[in-house]
A and B are shown apart, each in its own frame.
Chain A
């Protein structure tokens, strides 16, 4: 590679003070502030409980027709019903496999492209504008064209999900690598690190938090795209379960599926957060 350690200082430096691009802001999202964790646990309950009570009262006195707002008990019943028949597990498993395959593909490609663009200035100059054009069309906008080109089978879902994960992961990897502080690299150079040492001991550890942030957002976007694509073009999966319930006007089924989708989204986010704090243990030890 022509841009050896001689020019890498310039490659990695200049974005530190530069304004972050909008796309980057989109994909790194907004950090959840610490108040989310530190707030009073007791005070967290009144609001959802009040909501539940309202729901219960409305359905109990039938202020709204049952078809429009089924009782919470019916939703719980339906949940255990589809759990008992195994229907829920089947659909969840199908959705989960799709997300996993699409996410793995998008994550792999995104990391690759992000690393290439982050480390080589030449690659960035050639690839970045095209990438930006590619990222402009929202994931769902690709759906009609892909439907025509690859049909309605699994490939459609996996391509669309991987596209949604690909964009934030590429951007965060790219920006993370480019914003490694120049002084770290200067220190590494003073210690005469080889290029391999520079990358594994300085550049990647320093860029890890933004890259991981990108991975988290990639997974969130993948989950979003999954539900979108299953609503529009699927005969299986959690999104389809919602559509089906809607068509039969069984809102208890719809609500149960929506809760499952929210729960899995929450779970995925929490798991990645835990992995992050596990991998970044070394950072806390320093202070």
Chain B
């Protein structure tokens, strides 16, 4: 018993638990107001109801298929957008002409709000998977292109000279100098891109919905159609959790990938 208390005390000291006070308090208030029915419990559903729905949903394979579909869409769009962004960013940074020709247009087009593209995309590409992927890729493209440009443009001249002395060929130049030297900024852009990709995925699933779409957005809309607020709240929680896990995973990956840099 004493050792348990000691263990708890150590845990308490190691982790700052004060951050939990507010969420737990909110949960308590939520539980209380729904328990005594001080609010309309059809609108403010009790936490227990959300847990019940969560339990039921997690038993069904449809839910997991939806999560997998959203995640796959997110990652594929992310891959497309980030490759395009890295190539575009490098091109602008390496060629003065490309920079002068394209960057002013890029900065103007960037200002068009992402979701304003949705109706046009739906006309040209329909409501299928392709238009969703393009929207997600577009969301990723801007931050990745900007930070890649910043990273590549910041490569020091002396490194370039060293590469010349060693007579790097084109392939070596890209893989040994360009990408490693610009990698911190590129990773920053990729992490931003990942967050935007998730926003784009949810946006695409809401705005480009067709009868055969599956995904988390569809789960939430199913809840809305059935006036099932428990399902909506559960869907939102899963959206938040997936977003959180994605960004944590990216941070972990970045630390691993940039271990070779002594300053990291």
Contacts and interface: CB of A to CB of B under 8 A. Distances in A.
Interface stretch (B54-62, B106-114, B157-165): B106-114
A30 B150 contact: yes
Max chain A Cβ within 10 angstroms of own Cβ: one of B100, B227, B239: B100
A148 B206 contact: no
A263 to B, nearest CB: 8
Interface in B100-128: 100-105, 107-109, 111-120, 122-124
Interface in B16-41: 16, 18-23, 26
B240 A141 contact: yes
B91 interface: no
A47 B251 CA distance: 37
Interface residues of A, number: 63
Interface stretch (B75-83, B175-183, B216-224): B216-224
A144 B100 contact: no
A255 B43 CA distance: 39
Given A126-B21, A137-B236, A138-B239, A29 B192 contact: yes
A227 interface: yes
Contacts of A257: 116
Interface of A (DSSP majority class): helix
Contact of B19 (A43, A130, A255, A263): A130
Interface stretch (A33-41, A108-116, A186-194): A33-41
B51 interface: no
Contacts of A127: 22
A45 B15 CA distance: 57
B222 to A, nearest CB: 10
Interface residues of B, number: 69
A33 B202 contact: no
Interface stretch (A55-63, A84-92, A203-211, A239-247): A239-247
B104 A39 contact: yes
Contact of A141 (B103, B117, B236): B236
Contact of B122 (A47, A226, A228, A246): A246
Contacts of A149: 43-44
Contacts, number: 174
Contact of B112 (A29, A43, A258): A258
Interface in A230-285: 231-232, 239, 242-243, 245-246, 249, 251, 254-255, 257-258, 261-263, 265-266, 269
Interface in A215-232: 223-224, 226-228, 231-232
Contact of A133 (B23, B198, B224): B23
B188 A35 contact: no
Interface in B133-161: 143, 146-147, 149-150, 153
A142 B105 CA distance: 33
A43 B101 contact: yes
B244 interface: yes
Contacts of A138: 198-199, 202-203, 239, 243
B239 A141 contact: yes
Contacts of A51: 105
Interface string A110-147: 00000000000000011111100100111111111101
Contacts of B250: 22
A22 B143 CA distance: 13
For the complex of A and B, 4 pairs with smallest distance between CB atoms = A129-B19, A43-B100, A262-B112, A44-B104
Given A258-B116, A262-B109, 12 more contacts: A32-B146, A39-B104, A44-B100, A44-B104, A125-B19, A127-B22, A138-B243, A140-B206, A228-B115, A246-B122, A258-B112, A262-B113
11 contacts: A25-B188, A43-B100, A133-B23, A136-B240, A141-B236, A148-B43, A228-B203, A245-B119, A251-B123, A254-B119, A261-B116
Interface of B: 16, 18-23, 26, 43-44, 97, 99-105, 107-109, 111-120, 122-124, 143, 146-147, 149-150, 153, 188-189, 191-192, 195, 198-199, 202-203, 206-207, 220-221, 223-224, 227, 229, 232-233, 235-236, 239-241, 243-244, 247, 250-251
